Amino acid sequence: MSVVDIPGPCDVAIIGGGAAGVLTAIGVLRAAQQPLRVLILEPSLPLARGVAYATTYPEHLLNVPAGKMGGFPDKVEDFLDYLLDVQVFPGIGRDTLATMFVPRRLYAEYLRQRLQQAVEASRAQLEIRAERVQSLDRHDAGFQLTLTSGQRLTARRVALASGNALRPLPARGAGALPQDRRIEAWDFDAVRGVPGNADVAIVGSGLSMADTVVSLLAAGHRGQIHVLSRHALLPLPHAKGPAADYDPQPLLAMNLRQRVRALRQHAADAALREIPWQNVMERIRPLGQALWQTLSVDDQRRFLRHVVRYWDVHRHRIAASVHAQLQELQQQERLHVHRGRLETAFAEGACVQLTALDKRRLPVQLDVHCVINATGVEMRAQAMRNALLQQLLGSGLARPGPHGIGVDSADDGSLIDADGKAEPHVQVLGSLRIGNLWESLAIPELRGQAAQAAVALLG
């Protein structure tokens, strides 16, 4: 393929037009004091969908209440304002709407509307290209980006917001399964297309599993649903009730073991006062990054090895209505949860046969119509299925983050290269910062990062 140079450097190139990229663009457009050329590169248009908000199905709900999903640190109720303005829920008052878990697709519409408003009011020009970036290198003008179409362009500053990568199905033989028998949970249309009477196996028991089950139900699925995961822990529900009022600051000075013990004690104390344990977790939500950064490296490792599954189900909760659906299915003996480590996945006649080993290393076998990969977000930088990240790591412009997860970034969001040098003109956002920050996936963190990145990119 011949290489075509796109003329002129752009001032800011944003790689990835998911929520983080769009929020960064809004920040840059709003703050620009002079004409600038801002470019978003995103292969999957329209903007602002990414994985989370690409679903058009009403059963896929946000897992954060609407009142906390605003895209801007100085306006955390901005999403709520938008919902009220566009009147998607007529007759529902502000206070009730603030606590609701609304369909995720509304969030993409919200971000696009705010982007449009920022474009109209800005002195900067926004350009959007439906392109995937294949490589990013240093260049006289700043950086050179090569696109998969073969085109090349230069940019003075770059935001790296390439987002979430799906973990591949961890089973021998999975790659050889026919396409309609091996479905990715984030392929929402394919999940909806599973035949109504088919028995299915979902690998993974987290939020993507919950999404998958509600989709199957909404599509009229009547078959058996098997969930296979190493810990067999299902997401827990959000709860209403009085706020917990303990002081979380002392946790920061404790080691991991002490923190777990202290949190259990806070939950027990709260229960005596009829405060749900969920609100004990909410109290530490704003400290998520500080809690990670004040753990010793050894404790971070222990957390990743022994605690993370328990953390996930307590921290990443689902709407109570979704939780109730899962419970009902279990009671009806239509949803079966198996604990085991998946080993193989082979086509066997008309079936897909999965084999797993349980905790005692005894075999578990499932014969199903198809397997759905709901293993969730890939955190290990080297395993992420994204050619750009492989190139960045290979060229030394980036290095893996702490514990090999995400890519390394400084506190101000600068990318850190293989020599440990911070590159302030490449700002990293979102899940790529997980090794440094741990809490770096959800909107409450992304809005802060995007605001910080906008300042750095204009600086």
Ligand X SMILES: Cc1cc2nc3c(=O)[nH]c(=O)nc-3n(C[C@H](O)[C@H](O)[C@H](O)COP(=O)(O)OP(=O)(O)OC[C@H]3O[C@@H](n4cnc5c(N)ncnc54)[C@H](O)[C@@H]3O)c2cc1C
Binding interface with ligand X (CB under 6 A): 15-21, 41-44, 50-53, 62-64, 104, 132-133, 161-164, 208, 211, 386, 388, 430-431, 441-443, 446
The residue (of 275 and 437) whose beta carbon lies closer to ligand X is: 437
Q: Round to whole Å and give the CA distance between 74 and 247.
A: 24
Q: State the nearest-atom distance from the C-beta of 61 to ligand X, in Å.
A: 7
Torsion on CA atoms 312, 315, 316, 322, rounded to nearest 10:
110
Residues 6+ apart with CB under 8 A from 233: 205, 309, 310, 312, 313
The residue (of 41 and 342) whose beta carbon lies closer to ligand X is: 41
The residue (of 423 and 445) whose beta carbon lies closer to ligand X is: 445
Q: State the nearest-atom distance from the C-beta of 402 to ligand X, in Å.
A: 19
The residue (of 66 and 200) whose beta carbon lies closer to ligand X is: 66
Q: State the nearest-atom distance from the C-beta of 363 to ligand X, in Å.
A: 31
Q: State the nearest-atom distance from the C-beta of 443 to ligand X, in Å.
A: 4
The residue (of 224 and 386) whose beta carbon lies closer to ligand X is: 386
Number of CB atoms found within 10 A of residue 145's CB: 24
Q: State the nearest-atom distance from the C-beta of 208 to ligand X, in Å.
A: 6
Residue showing the smallest CB distance to ligand X in the complex: 50
The residue (of 142 and 340) whose beta carbon lies closer to ligand X is: 142
Q: State the nearest-atom distance from the C-beta of 366 to ligand X, in Å.
A: 24
Rg (alpha carbons) of the chain, rounded to whole number: 23
Q: State the nearest-atom distance from the C-beta of 79 to ligand X, in Å.
A: 10
The residue (of 9 and 50) whose beta carbon lies closer to ligand X is: 50
The residue (of 256 and 438) whose beta carbon lies closer to ligand X is: 438
Q: State the nearest-atom distance from the C-beta of 408 to ligand X, in Å.
A: 17
